[in-house]
Amino acid sequence: MQLSDARTLALKHMNTSFGGQPSLLDKGWSFEFDNAKSRLGVCKYRYRLISISRRYVEENDVTFVEDTILHEIAHAYAGSAAGHKREWKRWCLITGANPKRAWKGEDIGLKTKDDHKYQCYCTHCNKVIKKYHRYPTMDLSKATHTSRSCGKRGGCILQTPDGKQITQVLKPKQRRRRRYLYQFQFLNS
């Protein structure tokens, strides 16, 4: 779906009054896109803002996007204390949103909990201890973790997406434009 179409759709729904209440636009709410990768949308009560992920909109069709917009509108009407409980579900039925907390990640092509780039394995039982989306900045030679599967306390081995194992992370070197380059040593080198 195009971003412009999604914005038009969101503003149309936000300009509609639901349940005898004034529309969200009349209450001072606004709409924007964000760069979220692991959530679909968010309702920020403090700023009176509904925000939807650009990536999510571009990769999905109108039905998913419209339901997410209505989901967030239901949050706005239900209030911050409602969460995903009874009051929010009542507003979902009024607005026409699906009263479920979220879509499955596989259905919509967003990151799921298993889409981590780096995984830390226990040195004793070889099971995953921690998962990281970004490259961890800790010194792995000094890191100790307790494995939930074997219960032993020990070190961890970090594995990259291409299967290489990292044993040590050296301190970052500052480069131009404040970017950091992490140097590491591989077991397989």
Structural domain range at position 41: 3-108
- Its pTM stands at 0.62
Q: Which two tokens mark 140?
A: 């792995």
Query: Is the domain of 73 the same as that of 29?
Result: yes
Q: pLDDT value at position 71?
A: 93
pLDDT in tens, the chain (189 residues): 899 999 999 999 999 999 889 999 999 999 999 998 778 899 999 999 999 999 889 988 899 899 999 999 999 999 999 989 999 999 999 999 988 876 655 555 555 555 667 777 776 677 776 776 666 666 555 556 666 666 666 666 667 667 777 655 544 444 333 344 444 444 444
Examine residue 171 and state whether it is found in any structural domain, yes or no: yes
Examine residue 14 and state whether it is found in any structural domain, yes or no: yes
Q: Which of 80, 108, 136 is the last residue of a domain?
A: 108
Examine residue 167 and state whether it is found in any structural domain, yes or no: yes
Instruction: Give long-range contacts, CB 8 A cutoff, 24+ apart: 35-40.
Output: 37/110, 37/111, 38/110, 38/111, 39/110, 40/68, 40/71, 40/102, 40/103, 40/108, 40/110
114 Cβ neighbours under 8 A, 6+ residues apart: none
Q: List the CATH number of the domain containing 54.
A: 3.30.2010.10
Q: pLDDT value at position 44?
A: 94
Q: Which of 77, 108, 139 is the last residue of a domain?
A: 108
Query: Angle at CA 25, nearest 5°, toward 22 and 29?
Result: 110
Q: pLDDT value at position 187?
A: 44
